[in-house]
Amino acid sequence: MIPEFLIELLTNQYGEYLTNEILNGYQEKRKTTLRINTVKTNKENIKNILDKENIKYENVPWYEDALILDEEKNIRELDIYKNGEIYMQSLSSMIPPIVLEPKNEKILDMAASPGGKTTEIYNLSNKEALITAVEKNPIRADRLKYNINKQGTSATILVTDASKLDEFFRFDKILLDAPCSGSGTLSTLDNSLNHFNKNLIKNSVETQQKLLNKALQILKPNSTMVYSTCSILYEENESQLEKLIKQNKIEIIPINEEIFKDIPKLPTKIKGTICVLPNKLYEGFFVAKIKKHS
């Protein structure tokens, strides 16, 4: 059962028509998607194996190394999964590392577990990024370590609260895929709606503010970061950035819409940011690229 207060929030933000689209998205069974780990293999090899296993797939127009499976079938029983040659990852969560444009530079992944974006950053940088991945929960940090090792990624892992990182750290780029309410990933097909409430939104907003403030403290001047959430609510997304824009701490670097033109989107209140509409292929997701003022 979708909470009435959430329907009201969505209706106030997006209007009745788009809210119905979102609610329909909550009821869709999302397709299984994966990312090819180019540290260990290539797309041709993976396609050949999927063909042999009679697993049907389709390409993703905006990401060469991603595939959409017609059905999950026995994918997790295959050696390509067990050996870390593929990583099961939602399409929406692949967007922030692409927007980050990682190169041979010092990069911080502030809320890194389970490691999908960390390993993607490493792949996109051609194994050149010097990554620090942070996760405060010890159990989730163990999962992060496991995935990083399995994928052949090189990264320094810190088991700590990212909002309390030493102020003497300095990074060329930061990915803050912030803890959030998960309003973009809700589904009537699982128990995610059971845990969704107003307090979850309130607590998420507070955590996001702390992490954003810390990120801007340890990001080098005139450098860029990506802020993303799996929420589609204004409070957790544009509102957080508008405060920083008013304080003249940041400016928004417009995301190249042409790259992501095939992705279903919701309107945003800040030009140059992206909010993904949840449907059978995508989770709801917000992504913004930010430049820190000197």
| Rg for the chain, CA atoms, rounded | 19
User: What is the rounded distance in angstroms from the CA atom of residue 169 to the CA atom of residue 140?
Assistant: 23
Q: Which residues are catalytic?
A: 230
Concatenate the DSSP letters of all residues of 29-79 into one string.
-PPPEEEE-TTT--HHHHHHHHHHTT--EEEETTEEEEEEES--TTGGGSH
Percentage helix, strand, coil, to 5, in the chain?
Answer: 40, 20, 40
Is there a contact between 193 and 2 (Cβ–Cβ < 8 Å)? yes
CB burial class (10 A; 0-12, 13-18, 19+) of residue 77? exposed
Which residue in the block uniquely carries the two structure tokens 């040659």?
85
